[in-house]
Amino acid sequence: MAIHMRGMPQEAGKAVATESGPARTRFAPSPTGYLHLGSLRTALFNYLLAKATGGQFLLRIEDTDKVGRFWTIPDAERRLYEDLRWAGLQWDEGPEVGGPHGPYRQSERTPLYQSHAHKLLDSGHAYRCFCSAERLHQLAEQRAALGVATDYDRTCASIPKDESDERAAKGEQHVIRLLVPEDYPEFNDLVYGHVGRGKKKRRQDMVAYEDPILLKTDGLPTYHLANVVDDHHMKITHVIRGDEWLPATPKHLAMYDAFGWEPPQFAHVALLVDEKGRSSIGIFPETLVNFVALLGWSHNRGNDCMDMEKLIERFHTKFTKGNAKVKLDKLWFLQHKHAIRRIESGQTDDMVESIVKLVKETPETQGYEAMLRGRTLEDYRNAYLFSSGNPAPRPLSFQGLGATDLATIIRGLYEIPADQWNATSLKTRVEKIVADVITDIAEREGAKEADIKNMQKVVNGKVLHFLRSRIAHGQHGPNMSEVMELLGREETLRKFGPWEWQDSGDRPNGFIQE
pLDDT digits (tens, 9 = 90+) for 202-237: 444 456 688 999 999 999 999 999 999 999 999 999
* pLDDT at res. 450: 74
Query: CA angle at residue 5 from 44 to 268, to 5 degrees?
Result: 40
Range among 92-101, 295-304, 472-481 with highest mean pLDDT value: 92-101
Distance from CA of residue 379 to its chain's centroid? 23
DSSP label of 222: P
Whether the Cβ atoms of residue 26 and residue 228 lie closer than 8 Å to each other: no
For the chain, count helices (H), then strands (E).
17, 15
In angstroms, the Cα distances linking 422 to 16, 386, 480, 483, 488 are 61, 19, 11, 10, 9
The CA distance from 387 to 54, in Å, is: 48
- Name the CATH architecture for the domain at 24-272: 3-Layer(aba) Sandwich (3.40)
Find the mean pLDDT for residues 371-384. Answer: 46
The domain over range 403-513 is classified in CATH as 3.40.50 = no
Instruction: Band the pLDDT of 173: cuts 50, 70, 90.
Output: very high
In which order are the strands placed within the sheet that holds 238-242?
193-195, 187-189, 265-269, 238-242
Other beta carbons within 10 angstroms of residue 269's beta carbon come to 23
Range among 6-20, 62-76, 215-229 with highest mean pLDDT value: 215-229
Pairing relation of β-strands 238-242 and 265-269? parallel
The CA distance from 252 to 248, in Å, is: 7
The contacts of residue 363 (CB under 8 Å, 6+ apart) are none
The CA distance from 404 to 503, in Å, is: 11
Q: Which of 361, 443, 447 is nearest to 404 (CA)?
A: 443
* CATH 1.10.10 domain position(s) in the chain: 403-513
Per-residue pLDDT of 309-348, as tens digits, reads 999 999 998 887 767 778 788 888 898 888 888 878 877 7
| Percent of all residues in the chain with a pLDDT value above 90, rounded to a whole number | 44
* pLDDT at res. 280: 52
- Choice among 358-362, 462-466, 467-471 with the minimum mean pLDDT: 358-362
Question: Is 369's pLDDT higher than 60?
Answer: no
Whether the Cβ atoms of residue 78 and residue 34 lie closer than 8 Å to each other: no
Distance from CA of residue 196 to its chain's centroid? 34
**DSSP for 462-473?**
HHHHHHHHHHST
* CATH 3.40.50.620 domain position(s) in the chain: 24-272
Burial 197-220 (b: 16+ CB within 10 A, else e): ebeeeeeeeeebbbbbbbbbeeeb
Q: Which of 29, 5, 36 is nearest to 19 (CA)?
A: 5
Per-residue pLDDT of 104-124, as tens digits, reads 999 999 999 999 999 999 999
Whether the Cβ atoms of residue 256 and residue 228 lie closer than 8 Å to each other: yes
The one-letter amino acid at 253: L
pTM above 0.85, yes or no: no
